[in-house]
Amino acid sequence: MRRLLLILCCLCPLLAFAEPKVLVESRLQPGGEVVVGRTLDLEVDVLVDTWFTAAPQLPTLELPGALVTPPAGSSQHLTLQRDGATLFGLRYIYRITPTRPQGFAIPALQVTVTAGEASAPVSVRSQPLRFSASLPAGGENLLVAEGLRLSQTLGQSSKSLQVGDSITRRITLQADGAQAMLLEALPLAEVDGLRRYPKSPQVSDIPSPGGRGGVAGGQRIDSASYVIEKPGRYRLPAIELRWWDIHSGQARTASLPALEFEASASTRASGPFSIDEELRQLGHDARISISRHGTALLAALFAGTALFYWGQLYWRSLWRAARRFWRARREAWRRSAGHAWRRIPAQLRASPARLDALYLWARRAFPGSDPRLLGPHLPNGLRARLQDLLRACYGRDGKVRDALAALRRELPVLRRQARRQVRRNGKGALAALNPTAEKRS
């Protein structure tokens, strides 16, 4: 007894790390013998006894002589019993439609499964399957379906049709159990007196009633517009479609009746331009024309581009010379008397007021002269006013604000009197470095 308990204790850790069970089953619905054109469902069930940590990876299936549609993005969830154990899985469906009579062999499909509690992805293979396809009775290659519906509509551009109006015939074909891409176009014949303009077909799948991404059949919509070119009575021919009924195992015929209508001569005023001529001009006979002005403009643009490209070195040197010239002009203006004179009002309005710009202007405007000439060599009246102003600015009891305002008012007089006095005394004053700027100031 003790030995049995010891063995069980040793096996428990091993049981805890047992790999999950993975199983793949496949079947054909229906199987065996089918007619050419009938769609079979290859159902592939992927089962595990834990859960899926990632979607199973299914291979691509190719069968020569058959059209194979791979599984859609969605799948059907399963809960099945196998050997007394409950398995959970997903069902994927390949849709196979044989296009010629022969035998088909579906190889074993290798499916990669990532299950919960598995140490690594597991690759399993399904069992190989076989089926054969033959032509329906009578040897005709017909559309094979479980059920078929055929309908039509006729649309008119106006209630009373006239020459120039149009009608549109729209035919809808729905086939249960058939793939949409295998539905053939229905004939929309040409009619004398009508100009036909066929439209692109609309092909789509019919979803299954249960949803979940299933496909119940295919649908195709063909349509064409007819433009009336002359008055008269017209008849769009009837349409017949032979197909094979899977349930009865017999050939059947679906038909649509002919459509008749009448058009009268146009009573509308004709336009000055022909629609046919406009369509022709917009079609194959369209041409591009360029006027003489456009040619000259293109030639000038080409010449300018070539001149700029080949003269890059010259343009660059010219640009650098221009930059040096304007830089020198700007530097000369900063060293001129006019530049210093423009700074005087701002310094007088500053707090505290400054007079260094006033003396800088004097040195630049009258080089070589004594700055004190602003005092003793001025007229007595102006010199007295300036002294009073300076005394008010820098004295203890002066009214600084009023004195500065009065000094700003005396600046133009000071400038004229100082220059006149220098010329009168023969000090040899030089002209300003920037006469134009001096005149503006």
> Which amino acid would we find at residue 198?
P
CB 218, CB 180: distance < 8 Å: yes
CA–CA distance, 334 with 320 (Å, rounded to integer): 21
- CATH class, domain 143-267, is mainly beta
* Domain regions of the chain by residue span: 17-134, 143-267, 334-440
CB 203, CB 182: distance < 8 Å: no
Rounded average pLDDT over 212-239: 90
143-267 and 17-134 share a CATH fold: yes
Residue 358 has pLDDT above 50, yes or no: yes
pLDDT attached to residue 317: 83
Using 50, 70 and 90 to split pLDDT, how confident is the model at 214? Answer: confident
> Nearest to residue 147, comparing CAs of 172, 175, 171, 183?
175
pLDDT attached to residue 291: 64
pLDDT attached to residue 25: 93
CA–CA distance, 296 with 376 (Å, rounded to integer): 74
CA–CA distance, 340 with 358 (Å, rounded to integer): 7
Using 50, 70 and 90 to split pLDDT, how confident is the model at 42? Answer: very high
Question: What tokens does 89 get?
Answer: 């899985």
CATH number of 17-134: 2.60.40
